[in-house]
Structure 1
């Protein structure tokens, strides 16, 4: 059987196939149940870096803004000179206000 050349022949072939039961329309697939969407993660607070002068136990004594590292180191040396024990400078992240 060759390829039909016009729409009349196409229609005749479709009706013949329908009569034989070959052209039964397939059932449409049902849509699946919608899945649960993930919740958007909560926005975290913006953080900034500061220099913290801490004692040997790790407790923060005083904080300085990031560009003032020299001031933080000078303060740690002042505390050591006064006999307040050893202190060190470290960077900390804290939430912006």
Structure 2
């Protein structure tokens, strides 16, 4: 069963008459949000990181670090420490903040 079409002119006339009498029509107007609710703090920017090669001992402690482009120097340092009998050392990549001054050169 279909609905009867609404007469838009009659509805408009009723709405105008209600508005003239001061009767509110439709949904209530939205309240404005307080300023503190609409402004959210910006998230802190993550520190920029760089990848370095770290020469580590068996316990995982870093013995020396090298820039990523100097992998051959880092591998040479591992071989040097193994040859001296200073224990087992290995090479791994680490991420550290860019401003960090931990890069060292081989002795």
- Normalised to the residue count of structure 2, the TM-score between the two structures is 0.64
Unaligned runs of 5+ in 2: 1-6, 100-107
The structure whose Rg is larger is: 1
Mapped pair 1:84 → 2:83: no
> Which one of the candidate residues 62, 72, 80 is aligned to 1:70?
72
Deviation at 1:75, TM superposition (A): 0.4
Deviation at 1:78, TM superposition (A): 0.4
Cα RMSD for the two superposed structures: 3.3
Secondary structure (helix, strand or coil) at the match of 1:85 reads: coil
Task: Kindly report structure 1 stretches of 4+ aligned residues shifted beyond 3 Å.
Answer: 21-25, 32-38
- Normalised to the residue count of structure 1, the TM-score between the two structures is 0.70
Give CA-to-partner distance per residue, 1:15-62, whole Å, 9 cap, x none. 8x728x998332742416444644211012110000000000000000
> Which one of the candidate residues 41, 44, 61 is aligned to 1:42?
44
Instruction: Report how many residues are paired.
Output: 87
What are the residue-to-residue correspondences of 1:24-43 with 2, within 5 Å?
24-26=23-25, 28-31=28-31, 33-34=33-34, 35=37, 37-43=39-45
